[in-house]
Structure 1
C-alpha cells in the first residue's frame, strides 16, 4: 500500500471503551457447514505428541525473525513441476450479493481448510477485518488516536451516522452442528475489538485432516476510511469475508511449536494468509461495472435487473472486488517469457480517462520489469481500479491480480501528477510479488513487503530514467525545472537520524505513524546502500534467488538475509546492514571536521651529523626559506597557492557520530590532483596524514554519493577556504526569476 497521511483522536475511543456494556464482552453466537473436503496435496502429518495442549497464538509483540526457516518450511521450495503453483491449504467457495443502496454484502461461504500440523485442532481463529470500522472501540480506531498524534499517515477520515462498517456472523456450521464463537484479542488490544474470532469446533480436525465449515455472513461496508469501503456508487469490497488465520509449524518464520498466527486488525498493519483456491460468485445491479481477483468464468448472467459474475483464481491468498455504477474499462495485454498471456484491465470513472491510459501503460511495463528481474508473472489476469474523486483512501491498495491506483482528471506529461500515477501503479503492482507471490507476513514483518517493494519500484524507475519533476507549467515557462531522483526522495523521507524503531519491527509497535511510514523509505535506502556494496548485478541475482526459493511460501527477514549471504558470499556486509537497520536502530553520520596543513621545511635548532653538532638559528633559517621560495616562484610563475619548493603535510580529521559504514575519503590537492583513501573500521575518529608536493585544499566523504543511509550529507565535505560559487549560483537564479517576474508584470 502506498503511504499517505493519517490523523485521529484518542479521547473518543477511550470514552467509548468506558461506555461499552460489560455483557457484550462475553458475546457468543452460533454459526454453519459445506461439501466434501478437497484432497490434501501433502501426506498427513504424524500423530500429535501432546494432543490435549491448546495451540498458542503468535506473540503480540512478534516482529522480524532472526533464525532462517527450515528448508522444508511450507512444503519446501516449489520446483514448478507440482500440480498447483502453491501448496493449497484452504479453499473458499463464496456466493455474495451487493445491496447497492445500503452498501452491504450478504454472503454464504464454504470454507475448506487442511490441518498441516501433527496434532488435532479443536478451535480455529478467523479474521473479521471489517469490524475494525464498527466503532471507536476497535483496535484500529484506538491506535489511530495515539499514532497520529505523533506523526502523519493515512486513514484519518471520520465516520458519521450510517457510515460504519462491520461483519455479522449469522451462522457457522460444521456438518449439522451450529458452532459457538468468541471474540478474542490476540495482541491484548481493547476488549471491544471484534476483528478476531475463535470458533470452537464440534469435531476436532485430525492431523492431516480437512475441516469444512458453512458460514452465512453479512458485510456492511464503511464509507471509505482506509483500504476498503464505498463512496457514492463506488464500492471497493475488500477484507469483506470471514478469513481463517494461519497455522504455522515449527521451523516456519521462527516458530518453535505449532501456533496460530491471527493478529488483530491494527491501524498500520495489513495481512497474512494461506494460499488456496477462490471460487466466488458476485451478484450486483446490472448497470454496475465489476472487477475482481482472478479470471471471469464465461459471460455474466443477468436476470431481473441483477447480474451475476463468476470469478475463480487458484494459488492466491485473498480476494477483493469492485462494483461501481457508470465506470468504464480500458484493456490491454502482456506477453512475456514464462508467463501466460495476461489480460490487463483498468476500471475507472469517465473523468479519469487520462489517468487510466497511464495506469494501463505502467501496469504493462511493470509486468515486463518484474517478470524479467524477479520471475515470470504466473497469472492470466491483472485488474487495476482508479477510485473516484473523494475516495482517494481507497487508492493505493493491493490484492492478488488486483490493485487500486491513483487518478487525476487532468494530467500534463512530465508533471508531478504523471509521476504520482506511474509511481503508485508500479508500487501497487509490485505488491503482487512481495505481498502476493512471496506472501510475507505484513503484520509482523512489513519491511518484506512495503520496504522491499519500494526498493524494487525505485530500481524500475531508475531504469526508466524517471525521477520526480518538481516543476509546474509556470516554472517551466520561467525556465526553472527542479527535479529529484527516486532514491534521493526516499532518503529524504527515511527519518535516518536516531530512528525510533527498527525497520524489522512489526506494524503496530511503533512510536508513531511517521515511524511506520519509514518502513517504506528506510528499507529502500538500506537496500540501495547494500546494493552499492555488493554490486547491482549481485543484488539483482540475490533478489531473483529470494523469489525463486520463497515464491508461494512465506519468507521471513532471516530468510531474505540468508539468501543474500548465499548469493553474495559476503556475510559481514549483509549482516552489518541487517543488524544495524532491520534488527536495530543504528544510524550513520560521518563527517569531515578539520583540515590542517603545514610546509615540511628545515627546522631551527641543533642537529648532530657525523658526530658534530651544528645549530641553525631561526633568523638565518627564515632568510634561507624566503630565498628558496622566491627562486621557486620565479621558476614556476603559474604555480597555484599551496604549491612550492617544500612538501606539505596535510592532516584531515574525520568523525563518526553514528554506526559504522564503509567510506571513501577523497582528498583534493592544490595542484588539482585527487587521492582516495578508505575508512572501513570501527574507530570513532581518524586523522589521515599525507605528505605531498602540494597541500590538501578540500576533503569529501562518499564522493560517489553511494552511502544514502548517512543522515547528514552536508557535513561530508570540508574546504580549507570558503567557496561562494553555490551561493552566487542561487543568487543569480533568484535574480533571474525576479527579473522574469517583473517583466511579466510590466506587460500587464
Structure 2
C-alpha cells in the first residue's frame, strides 16, 4: 500500500512527505531535516469491549490479539519446505476458489456464488473454520476499522469520508455437502462486538487430517464509495476484499506456532492481509461497454449475453484476487516484458482519459521494476501485470497492491524532475514491489508489516538510488520556471521517520502502535539502509536473494529474515544486534561530538632539578625561549602549514552517546593533512580519545561515511576548531534563490 497520509502520527505518505520537504525548503530550512522531532502520539486503543471468542469445538486456538514479530525461526519443512522448482505447482496450494460474480454498476453491488475448496494440512480433525469478511469493515461506524479511525484523527491516508455510502458483505447461504452451515461473528482481537469482519463456521462434517472440504457460499457485496483500498466512484469500481476468504491454519514450526492455530485477525485501520496460496477461477459479468482488469490471465474471449459481458480470469499460486470495471476507461496501454527465468509478461495499464499523461510513465516504471526486482531478488513468475490508474475523485483507490494487479497514482501533468513524476514513479515501483514482499513471499501483514511495507520501502529506495533517481519536490509550474531541486530518496525516508523519540518497534503489529504505521515504512527502510552501509552492498544483496529463494511461496517470519541475513552475510553479531535493538525493540541512535580541543605542548614555567640544583624557569624566560625556537623552526620550514611547528599538539575529542550503541568511526583531521581514526563501539555513555601529534587538529567527525541514518542528527557529528561559514552561506543562498522565485511568481499574479 502507498501510505499517502503517513508521516509520524499519520501513516507514512510519499505525497505528504514530499509536501513537508517542500515546505521546509521554502522556509529556507530544508537542511534542518535533522531537527525533525519524533512522531506526534496518538491515543492508545481503549479496553476491549467484545466478549471473549467462544472455544471452537475442535479446540484449535486463535493467534493472540497482540501477536507481533516472531523470534523463533520456522522449521525447515514449514509450509511444505523450500520450493525447488521441481514441484508440479509453484506453491503448495491449500485452497481453490471458483467464483461467479455479477456487477450491478448502478447499485454498486456484486452478487456472487463461491465454491471454496480447502485442504486441512494439520494432523487433527478440523470442526470449525474462520472466514474473513473484509468488506464489513465499512458496514458501520462500529467496526474495528472505524473505531480505530476515530481514535486517531478521523482520517485514513488522504482523509476521504465514507459520506454515508457504506459497504458490506452478506453471506446469503453457506453449505457443506448440501448441509447448511451455522456461523457467527467473532472478534479474535477483542475488538468491538459490532465488528463483523471475521466469521466462524461450525462444520456439520469435520475435515480429517490431510482431507479437503468444499463450502458453497452465496453472497452479496455492497461496495462503499471509495474510502480505503476499495469501492466505487461514478462508473469506476475497484473490487477488492470482496468475497468470503478463509483464514490461515498455521502448524507447529510455522511462524512461531507450537500447535495448530488459526491466524485470522480483524480488519484494522492500518493492517492488511494474510492468506494461504491457492488458485482462483473467477467469472466476472458486467455490462457491455465496461473495461475489466483483474488478477491473473484472461481465459479466452469475453462472452456476451443479454447486454452483459462475462470475463473469465484464472491464476494459480496466489493468495488473493481483485478486479476493476469502468465504462470510462481509455484505450489500454499494453506492452510486453521478458527477463531471465521469467515467462513473457503482458503489462497492461488501465487509465481514465483525464489522466492519460500518467499511463506511459507508469508503464515505464513498471517495466524497470520488473527488471530490477527480477535481477536483485528473483524471477517474476507470472504472465501478467495489470496497473490501474484511478479516475478523478477516486484517488483513495490508488496505491494498493494485489497479486499481478495494482493501482497507481494519477496526475494530469507528469513532467521530468517534478514531484508528480517522482511520486508516480515511486508509487508504481512500490506497488509492484509488493508483488514480491506481500505477494510471492506472502508475509503476514497483520502481525509483521515490517516484512512487507518495511522491506519493500527499502528495496524501492534501493532501486531508485541505483538508477540515480532523486526525489523532486517542484510542481510542474516551478519546474518550468527553472526550479527543480531534488535529493536522494533515502534522505527523504530519514527525514520522515521519528528519530528523536521513536515509540514503536518496526516489528510490532500493524494496529498496536503509538505513532501509527508510518515508521514501519520509513524506519525500516532507514535501518536496512544502515545495515547495508555497515555490512556491504554485495553481501546484503546475496542475503536477500537467498531470502527470496528460500521463502518464496511460503510465509516467512521476522526470525526467518534475521536468520537468513545473519547466515548469508556472515555478520551474525551485527545482524542480531540490529534486530534486537531496532526491530524487536526500538531505540534512539544519538551520538555526537561533545568536546574538541587541540593544544600545543610548549614548555611551562616552574622549578626543575638541573645538575642536582633546583632552578626556576620564569614565565618571561620561557616565553622568550618559545619564541626563539619557533623562529628557528620557521626559517628551517618556510612552507610548513599553519598549525605545525617545533612543539607537539595534544588533541582531545570527547564523544557522547545519548542512545543505543552503534559501531562508530571517529576521524580527526590535522593541519598538515594527516588523519587519525578510532573505533567506538563500546556500550558506554561517553569516551575521550587523545592523540599527541606534530600538527594541530582542525576537524573531528563521527560517522564520516554516513553509515547511521537512524542518528537523530547529523549536524552534531562534526566540529571544527576554526570558524567555517560555508554551510550558513549555502543555506542563505538557497533561501535567497527560493525567495526570488516566489516573489517573481507573486508579481505575475
- Structure-2-length-normalised TM-score: 0.91
Match of residue 47 from structure 1: none
Structure 1 residue 657: Cα displacement: 0.6
Q: Which runs of 5+ in 1 are unaligned?
A: 29-50
Q: What are the equivalent positions in structure 2 for 1:220-619 lying under 5 Å apart?
A: 220-328=222-330, 329-472=332-475, 475-476=478-479, 480-513=483-516, 516-608=517-609, 613-619=614-620
Q: CA deviation at 1:619?
A: 2.9
- Mapped partners of 2:740, 2:352: distance in 1: 43
Q: How does 1:105-116 map to 2 (within 5 A)?
A: 105-116=110-121
Partner of 2:135: 130
Deviation for aligned residue 1:679: 1.4
Q: Partner residue of 1:724?
A: 725
1:27–1:183 CA contact under 8 A, matched in 2: no
Query: Secondary structure at 2:715's aligned position in 1?
Result: helix
- 1:700 Cα deviation (Å)? 1.2
8 Å contact 1:3–1:153 — kept in the other structure? no
Residues of 1 paired with 2:342 and 2:302: CA distance?
A: 26
1:210 is displaced (CA, Å) by 0.6
Q: Alpha-carbon deviations, 1:265-296, whole Å to 9, x = none?
A: 00000000000010000000111000000000
Secondary structure of the 1:713 match is coil
**Preserved contact between residue 98 and residue 105 of structure 1 (Cα < 8 Å):** yes
Q: Matches of 1:738 and 1:147 in 2, distance apart?
A: 36
- Report the 3-state secondary structure (helix = DSSP H, G, I; strand = E; otherwise coil) of the residue aligned with 1:222: coil
Question: Which residue number corresponds to residue 42 of structure 1?
Answer: none
Q: Counterpart in 2 of 1:80?
A: 85
Distance 2:650 2:636 in 1: 23
Given that 1:604 and 1:616 are in contact with CA atoms closer than 8 Å, whether structure 2 keeps it comes out as yes
Q: Count residues with an aligned counterpart.
A: 713
Q: Is the 8 A contact 2:248 2:274 kept in 1?
A: yes
Deviates more, 1:412-421 or 1:600-609: 600-609
- What SS does structure 1 have at the residue aligned with 2:716? helix
Q: Which runs of 5+ in 2 are unaligned?
A: 12-41
Distance 1:430 1:385 in 2: 15
Residue of structure 1 in register with 2:174 after alignment = 172
- Alignment match of 2:213 (pick from 211, 214, 219): 211
* Shift in Å, 1:675: 2.7
Match of 1:158 among 153, 157, 161: 161
Higher mean alpha-carbon deviation, 365-374 vs 694-703, is at: 694-703
1:127/1:244 contact within 8 Å kept: yes
> 1:585 & 1:742 partners in 2: Cα distance?
44
Distance 1:676 1:105 in 2: 67
CA distance in 2, matches of 1:293, 1:317: 10
TM-aligned CA deviation for residue 678 of structure 1: 1.8
SS in 1 for 2:140: coil
Contact 1:167 1:220 in 2 (8 A): yes
In the alignment, the residues of structure 2 paired with residue 743 and residue 210 of structure 1 have an alpha-carbon distance, to the nearest angstrom, of 72
Offset, 1:661: 1.0
Cα drift, residue 670 of structure 1? 2.2
Q: CA deviation at 1:153?
A: 4.8
Distance 2:744 2:195 in 1: 63
State the shift of 1:326 in Å: 2.0
SS in 2 for 1:148: coil
Contact 1:699 1:717 in 2 (8 A): yes
SS in 1 for 2:74: coil
Contact 1:592 1:655 in 2 (8 A): yes
Q: Following TM superposition, by how much is the alpha carbon of 1:744 offset from its aligned partner in structure 2, in angstroms?
A: 8.7
CA distance in 2 between counterparts of 1:476 and 1:201 reads 63
Match of 2:186 among 175, 184, 205: 184
CA offsets, 1:363-403, max 9 Å, x none?
A: 11111111111111100110000001111110000000000
Segment of structure 1 superposing worse, 603-612 or 706-715: 603-612
Structure-2 change in CA distance of 1:2 and 1:734 (3 Å)? closer
- Secondary structure of the residue aligned to 1:92 is strand
Which stretch of structure 1 is more off in the superposition, 737-746 or 278-287? 737-746
